[in-house]
């Protein structure tokens, strides 16, 4: 009788170990399934976030204006020239400002070389052109101020001087630099930069999207 009871106890112990092992194996599988489900959920979340970002980028691109200086300038001094601006982007341009600078004066005490302070009365829709309006007075910042995004190359307002090597390579002299800043429908700020050559044509230099400061901000900062 005692032997029977002992064998029964051993059998119960073995069965308990087997049941525990099966439960542990089942629990590990459940944990793995949960971890896999969590990983899939995280991946789906990342995909969703990427899709949202792509949608936002597409919306921003569709609402982004792109301003160009077009046509040759009329003969005469810089103050008599007419500057025409064309919006080649799909979005509307708001709060358009512009400045035209010459070269950096060799003497820091000389008068700064800003020639034009431009303003545009109305927004400029896609595909339309407008003539710039001169503001009275000059901006209160010098042309060595840099404009642009900190993650991209920045540009000064002064027109660049050609080096002798560049002139020997038949690069045309640059007389003036036009910098335009404007907003899109989302309030993002952008800039377009053009250099005017001695042939009275504006050459495209750069388009700077999503800049932190426009010309108005720079003027307020310089006050």
Among candidate residues 42, 62, 82, the one where a domain is terminated: 62
Using pLDDT thresholds of 50, 70 and 90, give the confidence band for residue 99: very high
- Of 212 and 50, the structure prediction assigns the larger pLDDT to 212
Backbone φ and ψ of 72, nearest 5°: -80, 150
d(CA 101, CA 64) in angstroms, rounded, equals 26
Using pLDDT thresholds of 50, 70 and 90, give the confidence band for residue 76: very low
Using pLDDT thresholds of 50, 70 and 90, give the confidence band for residue 129: very high
Same domain assignment for residues 147 and 168? yes
Among candidate residues 15, 43, 62, the one where a domain is terminated: 62
With beta carbons less than 8 A apart as the criterion, state whether 100 and 76 touch: no
Same domain assignment for residues 207 and 114? yes
Sign of CA dihedral 47, 53, 57, 63: positive
d(CA 13, CA 8) in angstroms, rounded, equals 9
- Domains contained in the chain, number: 2
Model pLDDT for residues 158-172, shown as the tens digit of each residue: 999 887 777 677 778
Same domain assignment for residues 58 and 68? no
Tokens 């070269």 locate to: 103
For 26, the domain range is 1-62
Same domain assignment for residues 54 and 68? no
pLDDT cut 70: percent of the chain above it: 69
């Amino acid at each position: 009788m005692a032997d029977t009871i002992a064998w029964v106890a051993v059998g119960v112990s073995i069965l308990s170990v087997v049941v525990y092992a099966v439960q542990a194996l089942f629990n590990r599988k459940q944990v793995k399934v949960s971890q896999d489900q969590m990983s899939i959920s995280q991946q789906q979340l990342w995909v969703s976030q990427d899709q949202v970002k792509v949608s936002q980028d597409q919306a921003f691109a569709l609402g982004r204006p792109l301003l160009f200086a077009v046509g040759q300038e009329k003969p005469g001094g810089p103050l008599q020239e007419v500057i025409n601006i064309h919006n080649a982007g799909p979005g509307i341009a708001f709060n358009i400002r512009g400045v035209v600078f010459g070269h950096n004066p060799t003497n820091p005490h000389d008068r700064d070389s800003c020639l034009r302070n431009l303003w545009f009365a109305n927004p400029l829709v896609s595909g339309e052109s407008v003539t710039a309006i001169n503001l009275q007075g000059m901006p209160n910042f010098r042309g060595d101020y840099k404009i642009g995004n900190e993650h991209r190359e920045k540009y000064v307002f002064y027109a660049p001087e050609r080096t002798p090597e560049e002139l020997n390579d038949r690069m045309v002299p640059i007389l003036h630099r036009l910098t335009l800043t404007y907003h899109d429908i989302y309030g993002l700020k952008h800039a377009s930069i053009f250099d005017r050559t001695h042939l009275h044509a504006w050459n495209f230099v750069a388009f700077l999207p999503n800049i932190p400061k426009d010309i108005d901000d720079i003027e307020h900062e310089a006050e």
